Amino acid sequence: MEYAIGIDLGGTSIKYALVDKAGNSLFEGKLPSFASVSAAKVTEQLIKVATTLKGEAARENLTVTGIGLGTPGIVDETNRIVLGGAENIRGWENIDIASLLEEQVKLPVVVGNDANLMGLGETKYGAGKGCTHVVFLTVGTGIGGAVIIDGKLFNGYANRGTELGHVPLIANGERCACGAIGCLEHYASTSALVRRFSASAQERNLNFNEEINGELIVRLYHEGFPLAVECMNDHFYYLGRGIAGFVNIFSPQRIVIGGGLAEAGSFYLEEIRKVVKAHVIADCALNTEIVAAALGNKAGQIGAASLVL
C-alpha cells in the first residue's frame, strides 16, 4: 500500500496525516502554523510536520510516495510557487515552498490552493462523492472555493482562478483584504460575521464576557438575541447571494459548504437554501443540492494527499 503525506496549511494551524488511496488517514495531527510570525517560521513548521510523518512511516515500514500541500493563495501554473493572496499568512508570497520541502525532506512535493484541495477531497471521498459537477466553498477566516467539472478540478488558465471568495458582491462596498471592493469573502466569511457583530455590539454598548466568535454568535442566534439574529441573517443573505451566482454559472449537482459555521447544524443550510432559492435562476438550480461538507477539517489534508496518489 502506498501513502502520501497530506498537509493543509491554515492561518492558525497546520493539519496533517499520512493518507492512503482510499482516503484513510494515519498519524493525523495538528500544529500551530505561526502564520503571524513569518514565512520562515511557517516553513520550519511544515518541514517539522513532513519530517515527523516520514519518520513515523519508516518506523512502520510504509512506503511514502510524496507530499501534497494545500496553502491559501494562488499557486502558479507549475503548481509549485505560492504567488500571494494568502493575506492571513505573513510574507507568504513568491515562495517556492515545494523546493524548500523537497530539499529538507527528500520527497517529491505537489502544492495546490487549500480550498481546491478540500474540494477535491470532498468530491473524491466526502459530500460530493459520486458527482461529476461540484462547487465547494470553505467559509472561515477567508472564503475559498473549488470547482469540479466533469470530475476534474477546474483551476482556470495557468492555475490562477476559482478564487470564489473574491467575487465582487457589493458595489461601493468596503475594501477586502485582497485590495478589491465588496468581495464575497469580506461580507460572508466567519471573520466578517464576527467583525460586524463586534462593531454593532460596541455601537450599542453591549459587552460580552467571552471571546466573540462564530460559535457564540450562533448560540445567541438560537436564543433569539436580536443582534445575533440580524448579523446571521446578513450572513445568510450575502453567502446565499454569492452561491446563487455560482449556481447560475456552473449549475453543479452539489454545492458543498465547509468550515465551522456549516457544521453548526441543519438550520444553517436551510437558511442558505432559502436565500439561494430566492436569487437563483430556477432552471440553473434544478439539479443542485446544497449540502454540508462531510470530511470536516480533514478535507484539505486528504485532498492534498490525493494529488500525489
Using CB under 6 A, list all residues that contact ligand BGC. 72-73, 85, 113-115, 138, 142, 144, 163, 165, 185
Which residues touch 249 (CB under 8 Å, ≥6 apart)?
none
Min dist. Cβ of residue 278 to ligand BGC (A): 26
- Give whichever of 66 and 300 is closer to ligand BGC, judged by the CB atom: 300
- Give whichever of 35 and 64 is closer to ligand BGC, judged by the CB atom: 35
Of the candidates 7, 9, 43, the residue with the CA atom closest to the CA atom of residue 28: 7
Per-residue HEC secondary structure of 269-305 comes to HHHHHHHHHHHCCHHHHCCCEEEECCCHHHHHHHHHH
Min dist. Cβ of residue 114 to ligand BGC (A): 5
Min dist. Cβ of residue 305 to ligand BGC (A): 18
- Give whichever of 45 and 113 is closer to ligand BGC, judged by the CB atom: 113
Min dist. Cβ of residue 161 to ligand BGC (A): 11
Min dist. Cβ of residue 102 to ligand BGC (A): 23
Min dist. Cβ of residue 71 to ligand BGC (A): 8
- Give whichever of 72 and 214 is closer to ligand BGC, judged by the CB atom: 72
Asked if residues 67 and 50 have their Cβ atoms less than 8 Å apart, the reply is yes
Q: How far apart are CA 99 and CA 109, in angstroms?
A: 8
One-letter amino acid of 23: G
Asked if residues 105 and 52 have their Cβ atoms less than 8 Å apart, the reply is no
Asked if residues 303 and 3 have their Cβ atoms less than 8 Å apart, the reply is no
Which residues touch 39 (CB under 8 Å, ≥6 apart)?
89, 90, 91, 92, 93, 95
- Give whichever of 179 and 265 is closer to ligand BGC, judged by the CB atom: 179
- Give whichever of 106 and 175 is closer to ligand BGC, judged by the CB atom: 175
Asked if residues 122 and 295 have their Cβ atoms less than 8 Å apart, the reply is yes
> What is the phi/psi pair of residue 9, to 5°?
-90, 125
